[in-house]
Structure 1
Amino acid sequence: MCNDYRLEVDIASIAQDFDDLKIKIKMPEGTPNVEAREDIKISDIAPIVRSGDVRGAGELVNRRWSWVGQGGKPVYNFRSEGREFTSNRCLILADGFYEFTKPDDPRQKRKTKWLFTMRDHPWFCIAGIWRATPEGEAFTMLTMEPGEDIRPYHSRQIIPLTRDQWSDWLDPSVPAHEVLRVLPKGSLPVVQVYPEVATQSQML
């Protein structure tokens, strides 16, 4: 499951996209610091839009990715099946996420790293939930059975949402099963980022 993702989009572009979709976004803690980050990892602080007091609206805040679960393990992914999530929904801002597979070369110790992006837009949102913990508020990514784009790489997948789903996920009155679904094949282009694949010019 996903334990690493990317966000390199500036806050102005994020705010403009929400405005274009008529999704009202408040910033109750001021404008979040949204740095360009190639790798956002478990326990890092990152921006989310959490559901607010108005249906289909939200609050843009920075929160910790993962909370402490049973046995002290971080809860960074959370199964969505059979749950409605009638409160504490959030959108996790991203422009890519990573999956890792065993290397083809047994001499290679590090796993092969793959980057997935959204075909139809430079950035997207991942379905998540947040909760208050003794250490402060934190969020986690929801998961489901993989679609065709992810299945060759992992037995589970996080849930990227298309732009027309963002408002619905922020509205807890919209049933979760109407929003949480896999995308059609080809929606999530993938490239190998480690080991770096040599280009034709590099091989000449």
Structure 2
Amino acid sequence: MCNLYRMEKAPDAIVGLARELGREIAFPDGVPNFEPRDVRITERAPIVRTSASGGLELVERRWSWPAPTGKPVFNFRGEGRRFAPAERCVVLTDGFYEFTAPEDPKAKRKDRWLFTWPGHEWFGIAGIVRSDPKVGEAFTLLTCEPGPDIEPYHNRQVVLLSPAACFGWLDAVEPEGTFIQPLLSGSLNVNRA
């Protein structure tokens, strides 16, 4: 499962795209200072969601909430489920990682693979937001069956959204199944990272 993703250009880019589409994104917590980086489980990162008034807002929230066992819920199976518009969020990224057993049996670390989406300077990962008494509001990444580009590396994948589809996911006009599916073969580039 995806437990690390990259965020270098996405926050500024989604605000720009929203303006091009005649939509505004508010910053209810103030304009954050985003630093390009890899985002790890339990760290705070930017998400876009629908506000209580029906507009869009960009906020920083924690990635994962604790399960009853105490382990972090950082991925959440998306197939066959319904998600209220108020729960939906878009996690901003320009790449994500998967890990495999090392090719070198003497290596101590797993091999790390970076997936990017050619033709998209940034894209979204479909997510949901929940409130937890221990950590406050937090988000998790939705997953689906792996597409052909990811299947050699993992048996699940995060739900990827093109920049335009990010707004469709948030608007919740189309059913969840429209979005919760893998991309076609050849959609993603993969490189050892």
- By how many angstroms is 1:167 displaced? 1.4
Q: Can you give the 5+ residue segments of structure 2 that lack an aligned partner in the other structure? A: none
The question of whether the paired residues in 2 share the 8 Å contact of 1:97 and 1:115 is answered with yes
- By how many angstroms is 1:52 displaced? 2.4
Query: For residue 82 of structure 1, what is the aligned residue in structure 2?
Result: 80
Q: Take 1:26 and 1:151, find their aligned partners in 2: how far apart are those partners?
A: 37
- By how many angstroms is 1:188 displaced? 1.2
Query: For residue 180 of structure 2, what is the aligned residue in structure 1?
Result: 180
User: Which one of 56, 64, 67 corresponds to residue 66 of structure 1?
Assistant: 64
- TM-score, normalization: structure 2? 0.93
Q: Can you give the 5+ residue segments of structure 1 that lack an aligned partner in the other structure? A: 194-204
Give the stretch that moved more between structures: 25-34 or 97-106: 25-34
Give the stretch that moved more between structures: 10-19 or 45-54: 10-19
> Percent identity of the aligned residues?
51
- By how many angstroms is 1:10 displaced? 6.5
The question of whether the paired residues in 2 share the 8 Å contact of 1:32 and 1:60 is answered with no
- By how many angstroms is 1:54 displaced? 5.8
Q: Take 1:23 and 1:112, find their aligned partners in 2: how far apart are those partners?
A: 41
Query: For residue 35 of structure 2, what is the aligned residue in structure 1?
Result: 35
CA RMSD of superposed structures (Å): 1.5
- 1:108-147, aligned counterparts within 5 Å? 108-134=107-133, 135-147=135-147
Please tell me whether Structure 1 or Structure 2 has the larger radius of gyration of its CA atoms. 1
Query: For residue 43 of structure 2, what is the aligned residue in structure 1?
Result: 44
The question of whether the paired residues in 1 share the 8 Å contact of 2:10 and 2:93 is answered with no
- TM-score, normalization: structure 1? 0.88
Q: In the superposition, relative to structure 1, how do residues 31 and 143 fare at CA in structure 2: closer, same or farther (>3 Å)? A: same
What is the one-letter code of the residue matched to 1:74?
P
What is the one-letter code of the residue matched to 1:31?
V
Deviations 1:70-119 (A, max 9, x none): 21010000000110102310000001100000011100110000000111
